[in-house]
Structure 1
Amino acid sequence: MDNHLQRPEVQGALTRGLGFSTRFSHTVGYEMMYVAAPVVVQGRVVGVARVALPLGEVEERVSHLQRTILAVGGAAVLLAVLLALLIAERTTSPVRRLTEVANRLASGDLTARLFPTTGDEVGQLAVAFNEMADQLQDQVVRLSTQRGRLTAVLEHMADGVLIVDEAGRVQLLNPAACRILGVSAEEALRHTFAQVARHHRLVEVWERCRSTGQEQVETVEVDRGGTFLRVVATPLPEARPPGFLVVLQDLTEVRRLETVRRDFIANISHELRTPLASLKALVETLRDAALDDPPAARRFLDRAEAEVDALTQMVQELLELSRLESGQVPLKVRPVPVAEAIVPPAERLRPQAERAGLEMSFDLPADLPPVRADPERVGQVVVNLVHNAIKFTPAGGRIRIAARRVGDEVQVSVEDTGIGIPLEDQGRIFERFYKADRARSSGGTGLGLAIAKHVVQAHGGRIWVQSVEGRGSTFSFTLPVATEPVPSEGGASGGGPR
C-alpha cells in the first residue's frame, strides 16, 4: 500500500486540523473526494483518519440538497406572496367599499350604506360612516321638504316675488312676478331687474334699498290703464351671497274697489239728496203758501208722492241687488223656450217705444233650443235692457231683440241705434249707481244694469256691451241650453215674432 502521508488531505489534516482533496483515483477509476482528520490521543496526534467518497455521489447529494432548498424557498416565497395578497385584500377592501359608497353619496344616492364585517377600527369606521350618511339623508329630506313647501308657496302666491343680487341680476322669481311683469322665467333669469321691470320707478325703489340698506315701500302706477303696484324692496344681508327681496303686490283691483266705493257713496248720497231736497222744498211751499190753494196743494202732493215712489223704488232695487249679490234670491229654473222668456217682457214696453217714435223688432230663429232659466228673472233683465234702449235712442231709431245659439249657450242681444256709450264708461256701466255723463239727466236709479248682471251671473251666464258713440249699443247676455225638454204643458215653441 502506498504511503498516504503526503496526500493533500492528510497534510491538511495535520496542518489545519481538517483536510480536503478531490482527484482522480486510479484504483477505482473515477473522481473521488477525500476528507481527512487527525486522530488525537492524550493530546498527541497518533494518526490520520481519511474518508473517501466518489465525487459524483457528493455532487448528486449537493444537487439534491439545492433542489430541496430551492423548492422549499419557492414555496415559502409563494406562500408569503399569497399571505401578503390576502392581508392586502382584507386591508384595502373596506377602504374600497368606503370609497365606492362615498362616491355614490356624492352623486346623490343617499341610500348607499356600508356593511361592517369586522369589529376592528375599519368596522367602527363603517358604523360611523353609516351614521353620518343617515344624518345627511335626514337633513337632505328636511331641506327638500322645506324647499318644496317654499316652492309651493311661491308658485301659488298672488304677489310677485323676486330675488335680486347686488349687481341687479334676477336670481329667482315666482309665476306671479312673471305675470305681473309680463316676462317668462327663462327670460328674466338672463337679465337684470331694470331690464325685467321696464319701469324707472320700480327700479328706483330697489336702488334706494341697495344704497340705504333699509326696506323701501312705494305704490307705483305702472301704466295709464290704472295698473297699480305696491313695491316692497328688502335687503337680505344674511343671504349667501347677499341680495334683495322684491315683492310686487297688484293693487289694481283694490284701487278699483276703492273707486267703486267712493262712487257708490257719492252716487247714493246724490240719489238720496235730490229727492229729499225736492220733498223738503215741496213741504215748505205747502206750508208757506199752497195750503190755501187746494189745486196747487194737490199738485205739490202729487209731486211729493212721485218723489217718495222714486225713493221707494230705489230702496227696493238696492235690497233686490243686495239679495242677488249674497245669493239669497232663489231662482225657479226650468227648461223654457227662449221666446217665452224674452218676448212678453219686451212687448210690455212696446207702447212706450211707439210713443218715443221707435221701431221694435225680434229676430228669434224657430230652431232655438230651450234654455235653463227663471223666466221672471230673465224678463227683469230684458225689461232693463229694452227700457235703457228706449231711453237713449232718439225718435226714428230702431230696437232689435235677437237670439242665437253659440255652443252650449243661447246669446240674447238688445241692439239699438241710440246715442251710444263712451269707451271709458263701458267697463263700469254694470256697477251700482254708475251713470255715464250723458245719462245723468235721464233719471233712473242707476241700479238696473247692476241687477241685470247679477241675475245673468246667477244663471251661469255672462253679460257685456258693445257700443260706438253716436251709432248705438248692443247689450248681450247668455243663458245655458237646457238638456231636458220643455214640459208639454208649456206649449210654446222656440220661435217668436219677427
Structure 2
Amino acid sequence: MKDLNHRNASGQTADRAGDEARMREVLQAFELEYRRPFDTSRDMMFSTGRSGQLLDVNQAGVLLFGYGGREEMLALPSVARLFSDPEEGVLIQRQIETDGFVKAREVNMRRKDGSLFLGSVTACLQFAQDGSIICEGILQDITERRRWVRALAESCRQNQELIDSEDRIRKLNEHILHMLMVVSHDIRGPLVSMAATLKLLERGSYGGMDQSVANTIHDLLTRVAQLIGIAEDCLGKAHSVDNTLKIEREMLDLRQAIIDPVLDELSNEIQTQEILIDNRLGAIPAGSILVNVNKMWLKTVFRNLFKNAIKYGGRGCRIAFGFEDHGEFYRLNVYNSGTPIPEEHRGKLFTKFGRIESARPADGVGLGLYLIKEIIRKHGGDIWYEARPDGSDFVLTIAKEPL
C-alpha cells in the first residue's frame, strides 16, 4: 500500500513538473512574441518603474540617444536624464500616474553627447507580472517631421500670399484693360474726324495751298493714320485678352478699304527701311475682291502682318501680298523675304503672349498674332504660317458671303 501511495505521489509530482515546464515554454514563447516587435521597432520602446528608472529599452532607443549599449541606458538613475529639461520628464511621469497615459506629447530630448532633438512620447500605465505598476511607451524622433511640417506651413502661407497677390493683379489688370478699351475707343473717334478733315484739305476742298503746306498736310494725315492704327491695335488687343471681340460686318473692297490704307500708314517706315512692295506675286487689284468683313478688325489683321513682315524681313527686304479665289473662300497671304522663323518657335506663333524670337528687342506683349487668329476665326476663316526657302509666308482664308 505504501508503495502504491508513493507511486501516486511521484506521478503527481511529475505531472506538476511537466505542467510547469509547459507553462514556462508558453511564457517563453509569449515573451519572444512580445520581444520581437519591441526589439525590431525603428522607434524607441521602453518601460519604466514608478520611481522613473528605466526597466527596459530596445536597440532603437540606444541608438537614438547615442549610448554604448542597453546596459548603459538601464544604469541611468532616472528616465528624466533623457529630457532636455529633467523637470519636464518628472511632470510627464506624474501626468501618466494621474491620467493613466500621455499621447503624442512633444518634448525636447537630450542625447548622450548633449545634442537635442524633438520627440513625441506616447505611454500608459501597465501591471507587471509581479503586480507592480509600470509605464510602457514609445518615443519617436519627430525633428525632421516637424521641420517638414513647418516648411509646408510656410509654403502654404507663401502660396496664399501669391494667390492674394495674383487676385490683386488680376483686378488691377481688369481695371487697366477697361481703361485701355475706353481710352482707345475715345481717342479713335476724334482721330478719324481729324483724318477726314485732313483728306478734304489735301484734296483742295477748302481751296488751293502752297506745295509746302500740302506736303505738311500729307505728313499730318500719315501720322494721324498711324495713330488710328495704334488705337485700333490697342482696342483689338484689349478685346482679345478680355474675350469680348465682336464682329460687325459690312461689304468692302479689300484693296481700297483695307490694304491701301494700312500701307499708307506704314509708308514712312517702308521707305526708311528701303523695303520693296512686290506686286508681281498675285497681288490684289482694286475692285476685284468684295469681302463682308469688319473694316477696323481686318485692318488690324493686315496691319500686324505687314508690321511683322517689316520687322522680321529687315532692311531692304521684299514684301508681297496676294490672293486666290477658291470658290467658297478667298486664300490671302502676306510674304516677306529673309530668314524663315526657326521651327522650334513656330508652335507658339498664334498663342496668347507668344512672341517670335528675333535679334531685335521685343516691343510687345505677344498678342498680335493671337489677335489676328481670333479675328480671322470670327470671320469664318483660319490663318497659318508657311516657311519658304527665302522667307516667310502668312496665309489666311476668309469665307465668301453673297452680296
Which of the pair has more CA radius of gyration?
1
> Structure 2-normalised TM-score?
0.39
> Structure 1-normalised TM-score?
0.32
